[in-house]
Amino acid sequence: MSGLMERVTQKALALGVPLSVHLDLTWRCHLSCIHCYLTERNGRELTTAQLVRLLEELAECGTLFLLVSGGEVFLRPDFFEIVEAARELAFSVRVKTSGTLLDDEAARRLARLHVAGVDVSLYSHRPEVHDAVTRLEGSFARTVEAVRRLVAHGVKVRVVQVLMRMAEGEYSRVRELAAELGAEYSLDPTVTPRLDGSRSVVRLNASHAAWRKVFEDPELDARPEHCPLSPEPQEAAQTAPEWDSLPCSAGHTSCYISPSGDVYPCVQLPLALGNVTERPFREIWADSPAARRVRSIRVADLPICRSCEFLNQCSRCPGLAYLEGDLTGPSRLNCEQVFARTGRRPAPLAE
C-alpha cells in the first residue's frame, strides 16, 4: 500500500468511513467453477432502483472504491445502468467478470464510463485446463478475447489467477500470457472454503511446494511483506507483535454487500451485519452489534495466534478463521501456508 493510500485508509478508519465496498449484483453464473465459494445461485436480488439508492447511500457515507462483482455481472440486464449510476456518483469502479459474455460494445461502454479497471479470471494458460475449471467448453477462448477487446478500448485489465493444484506449476505462463495481452496479473494463492463453511473445495489448493514458490516470487503480491499482521516483516524476528493492530480492514474501512442486500464485513467473512432492504446502510454500518464485535478485535485478542512464533509471518484471514469455526481462532489454511513458507509447523497444525 502506498504511503498516501495508507494515510487515506487511516483517516477513513478514524472517521468510520467504509472506503471500499465489494458489491455483488448477482450470484447467478453460467459457469460452474469447481472452486466456487458460493452456495446459492438463485436467491433474491436487489432491484435496479434499490441498487441505485444503495449507491447514493454509499457515496454519502464516503465510499470511494467500488468493486462490482458476482456471479457473472453481465447476467444482470441492468448492469450498465448500475455502473453508470456509480460513475455519476464519482465512485472508482472496478468490475470483476469471467469476460465470457463481454462483447465489443460492452468493452466500448466500459471504456466510456472510465471504470478504474476490469478483473478477469483465468486459471491456466492451457485452454483445456481453464475450461475444466469453469466447466464451460470454449470459456478460455472467450475470456482471452474479452481481455483483448477491453485492452483495445483502453480499459485496464487485470488477469486474476486463483492458484489451484492442477495448474500450480504454470502460473508464470499465465503471467506471461497476461503480459502478452497487455494486462496486469495478480495471483490469489488460496482456494477458500465455501460460504457455508464446507471445505470440499479446499482440496483444490496448491501443494506446499507450489505455495512456497509463489510466496518467494518477488513479482507477486503473495509475499510475506504483504501479511496484514506484519508491518515490517523483514525485521519480523526482532519486531514485537503489534497487539493493538487490526487483524484486517474487513468491517473497519471495507465491507461486502450480497445480491440480496446483506452486509458482511467481507465476502470471506459472512457474518451478517444487516440487510439494506430493512435498514439504511449507514445505520447497519454504524450500529450493527456484529460490526462492533468485529471492530473490537485486536491482535491481542487472538488467543492462539497472539502467542504464535510465526505471527509476523502470517497472512491470517479472519474470514477463513470464521469459516473454520472461530473468528478469533487460527485459520488452518493460513497455518498451512506458514508451514509451506517456513518449513516449520505452527502449533495448531501439530495438534
Partner 1 sequence: MSELYVARHPAAAWRRLEDEVIVMAAQESWLFTLNEVAAEIWEAADGRTPLASIVRDRICEKFEVDFEQAYRDAEELLRALAERGIVLLSETPLEAGAP
Contact flag: residue 11 with partner 1 (CB under 8 A) = yes
Residue 257: CB minimum distance to partner 1, A: 18
Among the listed residues 5, 141, 152, 272, the single contact to partner 1 using CB under 8 A = 5
Residue 68: CB minimum distance to partner 1, A: 13
Sites for partner 1 among residues 136-165 (CB under 8 A) = 156
**Per-residue burial over 259-274, b = 16 or more CB atoms within 10 Å of its CB, e = otherwise:** bbbbbbbbbbbbbebb
**Phi-psi category of residue 83: left, alpha or beta, with phi > 0 → left and psi -120 to 50 → alpha:** alpha
Among the listed residues 34, 75, 116, 201, the single contact to partner 1 using CB under 8 A = 116
Contact flag: residue 108 with partner 1 (CB under 8 A) = no
Contact flag: residue 122 with partner 1 (CB under 8 A) = no
Q: Is the dihedral of CA 260, 199, 189, 121 positive or negative?
A: negative
| Cα(4)–Cα(274) distance, integer angstroms | 32
Our CB check for partner 1 shows the closer of 37 and 65 to be: 65
Our CB check for partner 1 shows the closer of 2 and 238 to be: 2
CB 332, CB 349: distance < 8 Å? yes
DSSP readout, 42-83?
Answer: S-----HHHHHHHHHHHHHHT--EEEEE-S-GGGSTTHHHHH
Size of site (CB under 8 A) for partner 1: 25
Our CB check for partner 1 shows the closer of 88 and 225 to be: 88
At a CB cut-off of 8 Å and minimum separation 6, what does 146 contact?
97, 99, 100, 102, 107, 120
Among the listed residues 13, 30, 37, 64, the single contact to partner 1 using CB under 8 A = 64
Stretch that binds partner 1, among 43-51, 59-67, 68-76, 205-213 (CB under 8 A): 59-67
Our CB check for partner 1 shows the closer of 12 and 321 to be: 12
| Strand order through the sheet with 65-69 | 184-188, 157-162, 117-121, 92-97, 65-69, 20-24, 254-257, 262-264, 274-275
Contact flag: residue 10 with partner 1 (CB under 8 A) = no
Q: Which residues pair with 69 in a beta bridge?
A: 24
Among the listed residues 49, 77, 90, 218, the single contact to partner 1 using CB under 8 A = 90
x-or-dash pattern for partner 1, window 192-221, by CB under 8 A?
------------------------------
* Residue 280 CB neighbour total at 10 angstroms: 15
Applying CB under 8 A, which residues contact partner 1?
2, 4-5, 8, 11-12, 15, 17, 59, 62-65, 87-93, 114-117, 156
